[in-house]
Amino acid sequence: MGPIRVTVRRGAVAEAVHRVHAVAVENGQVVEAAGDPMLLTFYRSSSKPIQALPLARERDDVTEEELAIACASHRAQQQQLDAAGRLLARAPATEADLELGPQEGRGPSLLAHNCSGKHAGFLAVCRARGWPTEGYRHASHPLQRLLLEDVAACAELPPEEVATAIDGCGVLTFALTLERMAHSFSRLERLPGGDRIAAAMRAHPLLIGYEGANDTELMRRLPGWIAKSGAEGLLCAASSEGRGVALKVEDGNQRALPPALASFLGLGDDFAVVRLENSHGESVGEIVVE
């Protein structure tokens, strides 16, 4: 089966077409695919639940909300800032310890960065392990080596087969095929610490993203599922029964994901058709699978 074709229509004219590759894995086997399940791409923020595994293993004192914010790409809403602040204090660490740059449009506070929860969790792991916090974001730091090992182990790959680069927040990001990403998510809940991560994500979908975010809304519509979006049109998810899925918009445009998710996972009409509106609030087109 070819990639899912998501068409952007303005009036009766097709203005753009996005190709979406998707794969579902259960018990180590591909059970459904559209496009190329062996497409290699970077995990970006979809890897955050896996990067939070050391936090869940090392820190029994971390709350469910704090685990959820460690998995989040948040919008700096007050409840998200509060959760990230509590996790940072529990580390213990301060905002000055966060090796983040200010995020455009969010002011000088580093807590407002959409990856602040992940970084606060990294500091908490460093404290638990007795590792230096300075330089925790660099590939040579033992924390980043541990995260590479965890991502590789979750995907059942040797670490040396996982290519890395630098993510937007300054830490490592990992290149895997969509099939290995889906496989990783299918296994996540059964790994040490994974049950705590999955429970936190299910309990707090609004901490993970925001109202209307693809991952937040998928978890609301499919009880028992966990989901995490990543940059450049990626989304990974898993059911409580162990079906892992990964979808990637080939050109990186996130707008194609809702119709593709509706097609691949059987979500409702509010996902299947994205309405285009002009500045008057008038409907002028739609984004749909064709």
Integer Cα distance of 75 and 208 in angstroms:
9
Q: Is 30 left (phi over 0), alpha (psi -120 to 50) or beta?
A: beta
pLDDT above 90: residue 270: no
pLDDT in tens, 167-177: 999 999 999 99
**Chain mean pLDDT for the chain:** 97
Integer Cα distance of 72 and 118 in angstroms:
7
- Residue 43 CB contacts under 8 Å (≥ 6 apart), including other chains: 50, 151, 173, 174, 175, 176, 181, 230, 234, 236
pLDDT in tens, 60-113: 999 999 999 999 999 999 999 999 999 999 999 999 999 999 999 999 999 999
Positive/negative CA dihedral, 143, 156, 197, 70: positive
pLDDT above 90: residue 2: yes
27: amino acid identity, one letter: N
List the domain boundaries for the chain: 4-289
Task: Quote the pTM value.
Answer: 0.96
Share of the chain above pLDDT 70, in %: 100
Candidates 3.90.460, 1.10.730, 3.40.710, 3.30.70; CATH matching 4-289: 3.40.710
Integer Cα distance of 194 and 88 in angstroms:
21
pLDDT above 90: residue 269: no
Please report how many Cα atoms fall inside a 13 Å half-sphere around the Cα of residue 241, on the Cβ side. 6
